Each structure stands twice: as structure tokens, then as C-alpha cells.
Amino acid sequence: MSHYGQQPTAIEDEGSAIMREPATGAARAGLNIIMIGPPGAGKGTQSRALAAQLKIPYVPTGDLFRNEIAAGTPVGLEARRYMDRGDLVPDGTTIRMVLERLRQPDCRMGVVLDGFPRSVAQAEALDAAWAAVGQTVSVVLHMKARADVVLTRMSNRWVCPKDGAVYNKITKKPRLDNICDLCSTALVQRPDETSETQRVRLEVYDRDTAPILRFYEQRGLTRTIDAERSMAEVSSALQGAIEQLQRAP
């Protein structure tokens, strides 16, 4: 049954089937964290650090799509048409790709999701898929920041094309100008981060993604984090939210 009392959709049924396909090992409930916030709020940097601390996989939807694009797959070619103009990739394509990743053995003890779900349909499909294997959403961490703040951040964001590390010339400068600290590769700005595309992405977020907060708030799963603070303060707030969750009976 969907969140609104309707019969399961074809997308939900397909998601359940993907997650129920045979895989080795017994299913156990893990710490499943969803990160939600506008582009430029720092989800990628904070999600990666949180996943490393908790020793669970970090699954960024954007990177999954970029890998498909680099490989020239049909999914990648379809995704690129939407991503280059700042739009969301259609639900069916996104759900199939993410759920295939989530059914891998390393995700059974938990995961940090960055960029999924981005619509209520995706959230309902995720619920159905996890329910099929005895899993559920543990917490939704909402990184909140104003549009002017995230637009400034995005205009100064650079990424490493080799390892995906993210830098910002205001909040997280590399040790050497335009060089990745981890692998010494030259940093680049993503082609989907022009000023026009950034504004479109924020409009899409407000229109399509924000309703997910209501979806999860009704279940008491959402914790709001002030993402305009320093990286250290945001990291501390995120860790505090997880520690509170872990202490709960």
C-alpha cells in the first residue's frame, strides 16, 4: 500500500522485485540514512564523511548517473539529456539504477543516500523495496540553506574527475590551487553547474523534492540541520543527530 492509501504502483512493485532477487547472506536491519537538501548545501561532503565514520556505503545518485554517462550506457545517455539542463531524471530510470546498487551485499548493514529519493514516487518505491527485505528508513537528515547561500557555494565548487572529491574556494580550498589533495589531479567544474543550470536545479528542488520532507515529517523521521554554518559545525550537528538516533530504545 502506498503512503496515500492507494494500491502499489508498477514502480513500487518493480522495486520490490529488484530487492527480492536472490543475494547471498541473511537480511538484517541496517542504519539507512537519507540526506535531503538543495544543491550546494554540502550534502556530498558531509554524506561522504558520515558514511566513512559509520563504516557504511555512501551512495550518491549523481555519481551513479555520471558513471553511466561515462560508460555510454543507454541509462547514461538518457540521464545526460536531463542533467545537462538541470532537470530530474525520470523516476523509473532512477529507481531501477539505485535499487540495483542497494541490493549489493555491502549495503545490508546500512547506507547513506545522497540524491535519492527526489520525488514522493521514488520515496514510496524505496519504502516498498526495503520492506521486501526487512529494511526501513532510519532517519532523514534535512540540510537546510537559503538560495543565495547555495548559489554562491555552487559557483565556487570544483570537483576531482578521478576520485569525486569536492572542493569549494570559499569553504573548502584544496592545499594547492585547482589540484586535488588526494590524487593530485586537476580539478574541474561540472558542466551541469553553470549559473543558469544552478538556478534551474534550485527551482526543480523546490518544486519536486521539498514535498518529500512532508512525506517523511509525517512519520517523524526528519531532523533539520542548519547547513549555512561552518563545515565543522554542520558535521557535529549531523553526528549528534545520529548519536541521538542510536541511543533511542
Cell numbers at 13, concatenated:
512493485
Contact 2, 8 (CB under 8 A): yes
Determine the average pLDDT of the residues in 225-237. 95
| 66 belongs to a structural domain | yes
pLDDT tier at 27, thresholds 50, 70, 90: very low
190 lies in some domain:
no
Q: What is the CATH number of the domain that holds 108?
A: 3.40.50.300
Q: Which domain holds residue 73?
A: 10-14+29-144+208-247
Which residues does the annotation mark as catalytic? 43, 118, 157, 190, 201
Is 158 part of a structural domain of the chain?
A: no
- Partner residues linked to 107 by β-bridges: none
| Arithmetic mean of pLDDT, 49-64 | 93
16-25, 210-219, 231-240: least confident range: 16-25
Residue 129 has pLDDT above 70, yes or no: yes
Does residue 43 contact residue 155 with C-beta atoms inside 8 Å?
no
What is the model's pLDDT at position 232? 93
Number of compact structural domains in the chain: 1
Rounded to the nearest integer, the mean pLDDT of the chain is 85
**Domain assignment of residue 81, yes or no:** yes
pLDDT of 11 = 54
Greater pLDDT, 11 or 177: 177
Greatest CA separation found in the chain? Answer: 55
Q: What is the pLDDT of residues 213-227, one digit of tens each?
A: 999 999 999 999 999
Count the Cβ atoms, other than its own, within 10 Å of residue 210.
Answer: 12
Check residue 25 and give its pLDDT: 37
Strands (E) in the chain, as ranges, are: 31-36, 58-60, 110-114, 139-144, 157-159, 166-168, 222-226
Query: What pLDDT is recorded for position 218?
Result: 94
Binned at pLDDT 50, 70 and 90, residue 14 comes out as low
Chain segment 137-180, per-residue pLDDT in tens? 999 999 999 999 988 888 888 999 988 888 988 878 999 999 99
* Residues 72-127 pLDDT 10s: 888 888 888 888 887 778 888 899 899 989 989 999 899 999 989 988 999 999 99
Task: Please give the pLDDT value at position 189.
Answer: 85
H or E element, residue 179: none
* pLDDT: which is higher, 234 or 190: 234
Residue 48 lies in a domain: yes
Q: How many other β-carbons are positioned within 10 Å of the β-carbon of residue 74?
A: 9
Whether 58 is in a domain gets the answer yes
Looking at the domain assignment, is residue 241 inside a domain? yes
Give a yes or no: residue 60 inside a domain.
yes
